[in-house]
Amino acid sequence: MTWRRTSSSVAVAGASCQPGPSPTARALRLEGLRADGPEALRELLERVGDPPWDVEVVDGDPLLGMLAGEGFEPYSRVAVMARGVEGLPRPPFVAGVTIEPYRNEWSEAFTNAEAMAMEGLAAFTEMGQPTGYEEAEGFDAFSIARDERDMLGFAQAMVPEGWINWMGVVPDARRRGVGRLLVADLARQVREARGTHLAALVQVDTPGQAFLAALGFRERGPRRTQMIRRA
């Protein structure tokens, strides 16, 4: 669930990668993949174990075509968005909604809320449930929004780095300020840990990207395509 890389790498003449768990798919992530040509890529893939495999490639990289030739399919186009924690727009008051640290005893409610909030998101489709966050009490900053009856949203980020790993609001609670409350709470925790920024990897051209843009997040670096070769 922490998505840390493995320490070993795989290399052949003209190609290499560092296999490890994928943060966005039920697959082996080929981190840092490079290949000088199709033959080198094919030889490398023969050495990394069985698929499913996934990879994240900068748009325009010749690897995209080589991977397609080896049976990889695109499943998401993503961008990094970031902003400083200072100067974040003040969140609105949302009557009846509280922001609290996540507790594992809420796992059933969280799993239901996660499924509703993430429906249609490419990464969630490829990951499936359980994602691991349902047992992530105390995992850095992990805040949830609740009213008297339901869990309305959730947000988890690394501190002090400010990297937002997972965030969503159930459809019926959107456009009420719940997401803004969650981002503000993450910013508070990052600031208290002496961090300076918030950042997230988002699927482009989605409501989530528009939401972050409205809060002053801006794209950093080139867009990337996530590709998967299924088992």
Residue 124: both structure tokens together = 């969630």
pLDDT band at 3 (very low <50, low <70, confident <90, very high): very low
Query: What topology is assigned to 81-222 in CATH?
Result: Aminopeptidase (3.40.630)
pLDDT tens, position by position, 179-199: 999 999 999 999 999 999 999
CB 141 within 8 A of CB 182: no
Say whether the peptide bond before residue 222 is cis (omega within 30 degrees of 0). no
* Dist CA 84 CA 82 (whole Å): 7
* Dist CA 185 CA 159 (whole Å): 12
Residue holding tokens 């528009």? 210
Of 97, 39, 45, nearest to 72 (Cα)?
45
pLDDT band at 121 (very low <50, low <70, confident <90, very high): very high
pLDDT tens, position by position, 202-217: 999 999 999 999 999 9
The one-letter amino acid at 43: E
**3-state secondary structure string, the chain?**
CCCCCCCCCEEECCEEEEEEECCCCCCEEEEEEEECCHHHHHHHHCCCCCCCEEEEEECCCCHHHHHHHCCCEEEEEEEEEEEECCCCCCCCCCCCCEEEECCHHHHHHHHHHHHHHHCCCHHHHHHCCCCCHHHCCCCCEEEEEECCCCEEEEEEECCCCCEEEEEEECHHHCCCCHHHHHHHHHHHHHHHCCCCEEEEEEECCCHHHHHHHHCCCEEEEEEEEEEEECC
Could you state, in order of their start, the residue ranges of all structural domains in the chain?
10-77, 81-222
119 contact partners, CB below 8 Å, separation of at least 6: none
pLDDT tens, position by position, 165-183: 999 999 999 999 999 999 9
Indicate if the pLDDT at residue 2 is higher than 90: no
pLDDT band at 4 (very low <50, low <70, confident <90, very high): very low
Task: Kindly report whether the global pTM for this prediction surpasses the value 0.75.
Answer: yes
CA atoms within 13 A on the CB side of 169: 20
